[in-house]
Amino acid sequence: MKVLILGAGSIGGYVGGRLQQSGADVTFLVRAPRRERLERDGLVIKSTKGDITQKVKTVLKGSEGGPYDVVLLTCKAYDLDSAIEAIAPAVGAATTVVPLLNGMRHIDVLAATFGDAKVVGGLARVGVTLSPDGAILHTSPFAAISFGERGSGPARAALVELDAAIKKSGIDGGLHKNIVQDLWDKWIMLCSLAAMSCLMRGTVGDILEAGEGQAIMLETVEECRKVAASAGGDPGEKGMQTVAGYLTQKGSRFAASMLHDLEKASMVEADHIVGDMIARAKKAGIATPNLRMAYAHLQVYLARRARGGIGKPAL
């Protein structure tokens, strides 16, 4: 099985690095500066599960090095259009596209581009960042990816092979029998956390210090749950208890990466994670006052960022 990974950043670099370390045939589609660094320094992973430095195969164009059985897409949602353009030459008749993005909207876009049958569901739960010197820093005790068919049929051969490779690599997860539910479960948690972290500019623990903090957090979670339920993705009582457990833990330093991006004046996935949840809510006739407030806050930030106003007086 030949795997192409778009980029060698935090998630793509970590997953691809672990796969190659265990013997998988992995190629990274990267830009020229990243290729130069990888050729000079190797792919460097500093991890709670063990450090590695290794040489990796890279290409600058999707048309090189194929054909590929699997293309792993690990970009940010706001880079989806350019990502599609980059991987399009690599997607052949027998290629499976496995996106590891947050939310759900990207699946519709990818299916419309490459055909519904080529695109499966996937997600990542990996706490990683990219250091200024290009090293991948994995600091969390967990590293997992899940993927699977979006329909009810058996998993295709490429996913079965990828599942075996993931398990051999030491990454948790792998093939999931109900990946759509898994996507909803993560999105409920992430959308609630991102919306509230960015609106209130704090961690879960900081939010819970506010008099109405826990009540507002749980209201936001319920807004997201209703949207999921309207699409057949209600996590059920046990699933909601898990979400609430993470988002109502006193003193928690848990925060969405979107907050870190916002505080660095970086681009954020506001439309894909929060805006799309609201759009689906409107179609289902579900009120989302807390999400709307948070999304408006993020839109104002993006407007101010676009005019170069971040870090300057508002007036």
| Residues with catalytic function | 186
Task: Go through 136-154 and write b for each residue having 16 or more CB atoms within 10 A of its CB, e for each that does not.
Answer: bbbeeeebebbbbbbeeee
Give the per-residue SS3 of 254-287.
Answer: CCCHHHHHHHCCCCCCHHHHHHHHHHHHHHHCCC
Distances (CA, A) of 251 to 5, 142, 205: 37, 21, 4
Is residue 120 within 8 Å of 149, Cβ to Cβ?
yes
At a CB cut-off of 8 Å and minimum separation 6, what does 7 contact?
13, 28, 29, 30, 34, 74, 75
Residues 6+ apart with CB under 8 A from 280: 227, 230, 231
CA atoms within 13 A on the CB side of 36: 4
H-helix or E-strand spanning residue 57: strand 57-59
